[in-house]
């Protein structure tokens, strides 16, 4: 009996994987000849170049072209889909694939603007850790449920110029002390930008009396109590920021330019390899080093999602699948390409795939992933929204 069950289970598994393979073949067939309009933030040249490379590869392998629609903000693409829905355009939409996470994902998921679930049926999903608590399954505390597929790891880090800073501050209170001693030599991107908001969230996690409340949606009672120490800290920090805290760089890339120009000594990044890559490309001095805070820093996965009305859904799935191919991930982790850490589960990789990762070049500006400490969970998106609003109220005259 037991034997029978096992056998039928095995048979079922085999037939379902067979069916899956057939389904995937149908997707590949339909995808051939499609051009996928990938809406992705266009402010980072290496990412743009990587996306072009992805397009060349998928065209050669599957006959799927990729055209990057460079966004200055991800919400532009979200609003385009909303506009299309508003205009009754339920198919043939202009957005095929979006680089997305956090609040924009929540917004699209809540409004039913996403196609799916599709992520777990991608053939290469077998290399991912898809257990319910993994970073693949929860995006800013919002359950992913197969409506988006991961492609790169982001982790909050600091970059500093070691020629000008000897001992970089390793905690938020230490950062305040350092800024007091070196007024005008540090800043964060504008809080309306993702990176600026992340800086506040990182500080909030460290300073909040009870950080665990950050994992559930924000409530009025919690909010005041939780953020009070943050504002005390920020009120002291702000006058010591670059330009007296009256003006902020637009985003991470603008902040990197300030570090290169010597306008600041410490900058922020959501990509541990970005400084090393920038040194490689002549846009940061060789003395720049990367570190994370002692208590760990926020990290998350970047995802791709497909709108409900995408004109080229099959092509979009082919691209999403190609992105989590071990060979693609190894290429992406190459410091000369993107340097973004892989989203794959090391335990699920075979020897050959592992080798591709182990052979990657190193750089003095590139930290080892083990030196970057703990990865902290993103707060629920409602915290970020509320925090940005409250910051705007307090500090926008």
Partner 1 sequence: MLTALVAVIVGGGLVLPIFVGLAQTFLPAFGILDAVGGERFSLEPWRKLFALPGFGTSLRLSITSGLVATFLSLALAACFFAVFGGRARQGLLRKFMTPLLASPHAAVAIAMAFLIAPSGWIFRLLSPWATGQTYPPNIIIVHDPLGLSLILGLVVKETPFLLFMMAAALKQVRVADHLKMGRSLGYGRASTWFRIIFPQVYPQIRLAVYAVLAFSLSVIDAALILGPNNPPPLAVQTLRWFSDPNSAMILPAAASAVLQLLVILGAIALWWVAERLIVLVGRLRIDGGVRSAWLEPTARLIGRFTVILVGLGIAGLVGLVIWSLTWRWRFPDALPEAWSLKIWGAVAGEWLPALTTTALIGAVSTLLSLCLAIAWLEAEDRANRPRRGLAAFVIYWPLILPQTAFLFSLHIAFLRTGFGGGLVSVIWVHMFFVFPYVMLALADPWRALDRRYARAAASLGHSKGDILLRIKLPLLLGPLMAAAAVGFAVSVAQYLATLTIGEGRIVTLTTEAVARSSGADRRIIAVFASLQALLPMLVYVLALLLPAILYARRRGLLGDQA
- Least distance between partner 1 and beta carbon 94 (Å): 5
Residue 142: closest CA among 101, 112, 113: 101
Q: CB-wise, 274 or 317, nearer to partner 1? A: 274
- Least distance between partner 1 and beta carbon 151 (Å): 20
How buried is residue 370: exposed, middle or buried, by Cβ count under 10 Å (0-12/13-18/19+)? exposed
- Least distance between partner 1 and beta carbon 273 (Å): 16
Residue 391: closest CA among 221, 200, 226, 237: 200
Q: CB-wise, 82 or 174, nearer to partner 1? A: 82
How far, in Å, are 6, 191, 199, 209, 232 from residue 222 at the CA level? 51, 21, 20, 10, 17
Separation between Cα atoms, residue 237 and residue 265, nearest integer Å: 15
Handedness of CA 94, 96, 101, 106 (dihedral sign): positive
Q: Radius of gyration (Cα) for the chain, nearest Å?
A: 22
- Least distance between partner 1 and beta carbon 29 (Å): 26
Residue 148: closest CA among 158, 160, 159, 136: 136
Q: CB-wise, 190 or 290, nearer to partner 1? A: 190
- Least distance between partner 1 and beta carbon 247 (Å): 5
Separation between Cα atoms, residue 190 and residue 174, nearest integer Å: 22
Q: CB-wise, 81 or 144, nearer to partner 1? A: 81
Phi-psi domain of 141 (left: phi exceeds 0; alpha: psi -120 through 50; beta: other): left
Residue 80: closest CA among 101, 103, 97: 97
Q: CB-wise, 48 or 124, nearer to partner 1? A: 48
DSSP bridge pairs for 266: 160, 186
Q: What residues line the site for partner 1 (CB under 8 A)?
A: 37, 39, 42-45, 48-49, 52, 67, 69-73, 75-80, 82-89, 94, 103-104, 107, 111, 183-184, 190, 192, 242-244, 246-254, 256-258, 260-263, 281-283, 285, 385, 389, 392-393, 395-397
Residue 376: closest CA among 208, 239, 249: 208
Q: CB-wise, 342 or 365, nearer to partner 1? A: 365
For residue 154, give every residue at least 6 positions away whose Cβ sits within 8 Å of its Cβ, in sequence order, or none: 270, 271, 299, 300, 301, 302, 340
- Least distance between partner 1 and beta carbon 260 (Å): 7
- Least distance between partner 1 and beta carbon 269 (Å): 12
- Least distance between partner 1 and beta carbon 183 (Å): 8
Q: CB-wise, 127 or 186, nearer to partner 1? A: 186
- Least distance between partner 1 and beta carbon 321 (Å): 23
Q: CB-wise, 40 or 128, nearer to partner 1? A: 40
Handedness of CA 277, 278, 284, 289 (dihedral sign): negative
Q: CB-wise, 211 or 285, nearer to partner 1? A: 285
Residue 316: closest CA among 107, 39, 8: 39
Phi, psi (rounded to 5 degrees) for 99 = -80, 115
- Least distance between partner 1 and beta carbon 259 (Å): 11
Q: CB-wise, 129 or 390, nearer to partner 1? A: 390
Residue 242: closest CA among 263, 273, 257: 263
């Amino acid at each position: 009996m037991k034997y029978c069950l096992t056998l039928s289970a095995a048979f079922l598994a085999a037939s379902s994987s067979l069916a899956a393979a057939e389904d995937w073949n149908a997707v590949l067939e339909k995808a051939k000849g499609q051009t996928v309009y990938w809406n992705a933030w266009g402010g980072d040249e290496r990412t743009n170049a990587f996306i072009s490379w992805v397009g060349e590869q998928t065209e050669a392998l599957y006959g799927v072209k990729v055209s990057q629609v460079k966004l200055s903000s991800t919400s532009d693409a979200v609003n385009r889909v909303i506009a299309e829905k508003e205009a009754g355009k339920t198919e043939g939409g202009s957005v095929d694939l979006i680089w997305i996470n956090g609040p924009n994902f929540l917004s699209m998921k809540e409004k039913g603007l996403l196609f799916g679930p599709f992520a777990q049926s991608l053939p290469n999903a077998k290399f991912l850790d898809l257990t319910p608590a993994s970073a693949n399954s929860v995006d800013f505390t919002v359950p992913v449920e197969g409506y988006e597929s991961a492609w790169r790891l982001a982790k909050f880090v600091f970059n500093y110029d070691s020629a000008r800073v000897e001992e970089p501050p390793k905690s938020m209170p230490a950062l305040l002390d350092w800024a007091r001693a070196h007024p005008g030599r540090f800043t964060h991107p504008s809080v309306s930008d993702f990176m600026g908001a992340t800086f506040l969230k990182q500080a909030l996690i460290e300073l909040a009396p009870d950080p665990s409340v950050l994992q559930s949606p924000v409530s009025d009672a919690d909010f005041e109590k939780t953020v009070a120490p943050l504002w005390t800290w920020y009120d002291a920090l702000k006058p010591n920021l670059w330009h007296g805290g009256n003006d902020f760089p637009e985003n991470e890339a603008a902040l990197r330019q300030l570090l290169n120009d010597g306008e600041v000594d410490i900058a922020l990044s959501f990509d541990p390899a970005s400084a090393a890559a920038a040194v490689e490309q002549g846009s940061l001095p060789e003395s720049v080093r990367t570190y994370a805070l002692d208590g760990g820093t926020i990290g998350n996965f970047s995802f791709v999602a497909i709108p409900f009305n995408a004109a080229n859904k099959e092509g979009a799935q082919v691209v999403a699948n190609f992105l989590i191919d071990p060979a693609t991930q190894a290429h992406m982790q190459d410091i000369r390409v993107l340097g973004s850490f892989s989203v794959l589960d090391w335990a699920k990789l075979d020897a050959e795939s592992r080798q591709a990762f182990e052979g990657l070049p190193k750089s003095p500006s590139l930290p080892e992933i083990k030196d970057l400490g703990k990865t902290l969970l993103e707060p629920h998106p409602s915290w970020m929204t509320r925090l940005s609003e409250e910051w705007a109220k307090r500090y926008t005259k």
